[in-house]
């Protein structure tokens, strides 16, 4: 059974950064991810707020980070961690995956999140048939077609702009009377003349074989209106992946996110958490900063106590 000083669960921006920092500090480290490195970060069409890059896609940045990480630590992709248990010996945790079992002195949880669904009628039925949660993955197929983009945060507006650039006819639908996204993105939406429907929720997605229309509900009047569309792209937030944290007895807040201190420590000794699974701002640069803090904190804790 291979043994490590630090095992990082999740190879998103935070996990890869933690691996880089941990490796450079001379500890033996492993990053494990159930998918390809990057997670939903691979889906970001373009970023204009990551320091050092005026404009870069999530996939391109992930590949750069991955190349740097594997110089400093082991990386296992397509290997799901199914169980983490505490032990009483020097290697405090046993990490069981879909392929192997490992021991580690320290765990950093970088398990990320997944797309939140609308739970609208027809949403599951038309997934892959006009309903999508990834503009980068599916936008190409909708050039010249009508699309509803649901959401009001940064991701929704970024994807709406990306879809418009691909040649799709995009309309933004948001349940509130104003967007939550950065002003820069709102200005871009206005500049690109992307139509918006505010104070509206998607009640139903309709069609035969493929999506043909949506039923929108006015949140102020409860009036229902059917709007023809060829596709529904959904960006309404994320659900944190905290199953492994729950196994370990890690404390969560009322929204289901992991509670951490300024050193990224959880309430369980030698267990850290970073990125979208934690309480705090959901931004790529924040996850990277948290990865650096967690790896450095873990290094000092190991040096002091082992």
The Cα–Cα gap between 49 and 70 comes to 25
Residue 134 a catalytic site member: yes
Report helix, strand or coil for 301: helix
Catalytic residue among 137, 251, 253, 269: 137
The Cα–Cα gap between 248 and 183 comes to 40
Catalytic residue among 35, 134, 146, 218: 134
Pairing relationship of beta strands 231-234 and 146-150 according to DSSP bridges: parallel
Catalytic residue among 5, 33, 74, 138: 138
Which tokens go with 109?
A: 């949880």
The total of other beta-carbon atoms located within 10 Å of residue 170's CB is 29
Q: Could you tell me which residues come within 8 angstroms of residue 93 by beta carbon, excluding any fewer than 6 positions away?
A: 7, 84, 85, 86, 87, 103, 104, 105, 106, 107, 270
Residue with token string 């139509």: 195
The Cα–Cα gap between 186 and 217 comes to 23
Torsion on CA atoms 157, 158, 161, 167, rounded to nearest 10: -120
Residue 73 a catalytic site member: no
Report helix, strand or coil for 150: strand
Residue 278 a catalytic site member: no
Indicate which residues carry an active-site annotation.
Answer: 134, 137-138
């Amino acid at each position: 059974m291979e043994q490590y000083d630090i095992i990082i669960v999740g190879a998103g921006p935070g996990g890869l950064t933690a691996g880089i920092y941990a490796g450079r500090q001379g500890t033996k480290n492993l990053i494990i991810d159930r998918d390809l490195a990057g997670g939903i970060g691979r889906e970001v069409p373009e970023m204009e707020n990551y320091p050092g890059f005026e404009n870069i896609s999530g996939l391109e940045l992930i590949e750069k980070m991955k190349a740097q990480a594997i110089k400093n630590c082991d990386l296992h992709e397509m290997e799901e961690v199914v169980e983490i248990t505490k032990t009483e010996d020097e290697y405090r945790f046993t990490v069981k995956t879909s392929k192997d079992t490992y021991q580690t002195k320290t765990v950093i949880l970088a398990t990320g999140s997944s797309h939140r669904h609308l739970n609208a009628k027809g949403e599951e039925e038309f997934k892959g048939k006009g309903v999508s949660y990834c503009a980068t993955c599916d936008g190409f197929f909708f050039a010249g077609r009508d699309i509803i983009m649901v959401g009001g945060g940064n991701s929704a507006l970024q994807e709406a702009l990306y879809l418009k650039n691909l040649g799709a006819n995009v309309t933004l639908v948001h349940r509130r009377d104003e967007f939550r996204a950065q002003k820069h993105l709102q200005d871009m939406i206005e500049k690109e003349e992307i139509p918006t429907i505010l104070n509206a929720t998607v009640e139903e997605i309709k069609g035969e074989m493929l999506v043909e229309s949506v039923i929108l509900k006015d949140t102020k009047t409860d009036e229902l209106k059917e709007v023809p569309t060829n596709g529904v792209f959904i960006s309404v937030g994320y659900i944190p992946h905290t199953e492994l944290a729950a196994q370990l007895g890690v404390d969560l807040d009322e929204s289901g996110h992991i509670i951490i201190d300024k050193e990224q420590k959880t309430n369980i000794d030698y267990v850290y958490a970073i990125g979208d699974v934690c309480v705090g701002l959901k931004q790529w640069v924040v996850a990277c900063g948290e990865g650096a803090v967690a790896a450095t904190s873990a290094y000092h804790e190991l040096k002091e106590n082992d």
